Amino acid sequence: MKSRYIILIPIILLALLIPLALVRNEAGKLPEALPAVSPVAEIPAYTTATPSPDGIGKIFMGREISHVMGHQGLRWLERDERELEEAPSRAIALLDLAPDAVIADIGAGSGYYSFRIAPLVPRGKVIAVDIQQEMLDFLKAESAHREVTNVKPHLGAIDDIKLPPDTLDAALMVDSYHEFSHPIEMLTSLHKALKPGGKIYLLEYRAEDPRVPIKPLHKMSEAQARKEFKALGFTFVENKPGLPWQHFLVFEKSQNSNFNSQ
């Protein structure tokens, strides 16, 4: 019996050493540890509360979502004082767009920004996305009146921009994101529609500044926006200064997103 065990011991040792030899690296050393696997980040769930006067009672990451401004607000979007109050021409000058870029104006409304961006992309196009057909009808009529051919009205949904994957170089959201009733689904939809490295330009009234004369739920802080966009697979790039009332936040589609878009 003892001789049998003596024969088995070298065989067992050899069986243990072979796997160790196979995992040696090029330098002949054993790896210190196996690489960690990044867990899939869980997206926070929506919660509900009693609606405030300007909110819908739906909460995302601590922020109550505001009511939507309907097509009845067209006059306010096109008001003469807008340039003085918000300096949209300055904001448009901050956009980094190639002449052939495809950019989606999400929540385009009257097309105030869409038509002003169109000259920047003469070989590209501005996809003016809205969920209200009345806004798109106005956009279509205005395109014909202005003889602009590269602004394309597009009907989206409250939870999907309904654009093909990897087709956008950039997306612009001007004072609209805070009204999205389904921010998780919308940002997931945008993430899919953007090309690798595609950017989101987010303009929101500054919640940190009490001098900005806008209702609280229609404002956002930089910290809140960064928290929400990070959770949905975007990397913060910068907050460009210089606008009277708004943040100009730039986000980029993360290359190695580890969030669960379901």
pLDDT in tens, 27-82: 444 444 444 444 445 788 999 999 999 999 999 999 999 998 655 556 666 778 88
| Reported pTM | 0.81
Q: Pick from 178, 152, 227: which is nearest to 55 by CA?
A: 178
Specify the pLDDT at position 80.
81
Specify the pLDDT at position 12.
42
Specify the pLDDT at position 68.
86
pLDDT surpasses 60 at 14: no
The CA–CA distances, whole Å, from 46 to 12, 54, 178, 184, 197 equal 56, 18, 14, 9, 28
Token digits of residue 4: 């049998």
Q: Please report, as a single letter, which amino acid is at residue 209.
A: D
Q: Pick from 249, 79, 89: which is nearest to 177 by CA?
A: 249
Task: Measure the CA–CA gap between 80 and 58, rounded to whole angstroms.
Answer: 34
pLDDT tens column, 80-124: 888 989 999 999 999 999 999 999 999 999 899 999 999 999 999
Token digits of residue 101: 């870029």
Specify the pLDDT at position 73.
57
Specify the pLDDT at position 71.
54
Query: Average model confidence (pLDDT) for the chain?
Result: 85
**Which domains occur in the chain, in start order?**
71-253 (3.40.50.150)
- Who contacts 108 (Cβ-Cβ below 8 Å, separation ≥6)? 114, 128, 129, 130, 135, 139, 153
83 and 110 in contact (C-beta within 8 Å)?
no
Classify residue 253 by burial, with Cβ atoms within 10 Å: 0-12, 13-18, 19+: buried
Task: Measure the CA–CA gap between 162 and 184, rounded to whole angstroms.
Answer: 15
